[in-house]
Amino acid sequence: MNIRTIVIEGHDQDVKISRTERGAEVTIEQNTRHAGRQDICIAHIARDEDRDARYAKAVEVAKVVYGTDRRGRAAATNSMVHDVLSEMERVAGC
Domain locations along the chain: 5-92
Q: How far apart are CA 52 and CA 31, in angstroms?
A: 32
Q: What is the pLDDT of residues 21-69, one digit of tens each?
A: 999 999 998 877 777 788 889 999 999 999 999 999 999 999 999 999 9
End-to-end CA separation in angstroms for the chain: 14
Cα-Cα-Cα-Cα dihedral sign, residues 36, 9, 68, 60? negative
pTM: 0.84
Q: How far apart are CA 62 and CA 57, in angstroms?
A: 9
At 41 the three-state DSSP class reads strand
Q: Identify whether the C-beta of residue 6 lies closer than 8 Å to the C-beta of residue 93.
A: no
Q: How many helices (H) and strands (E) does the chain have?
A: 2, 4
Helix (H) or strand (E) holding 76, with range, is none
Q: How far apart are CA 81 and CA 64, in angstroms?
A: 11
Confidence of residue 7 (pLDDT cuts 50, 70, 90): very high
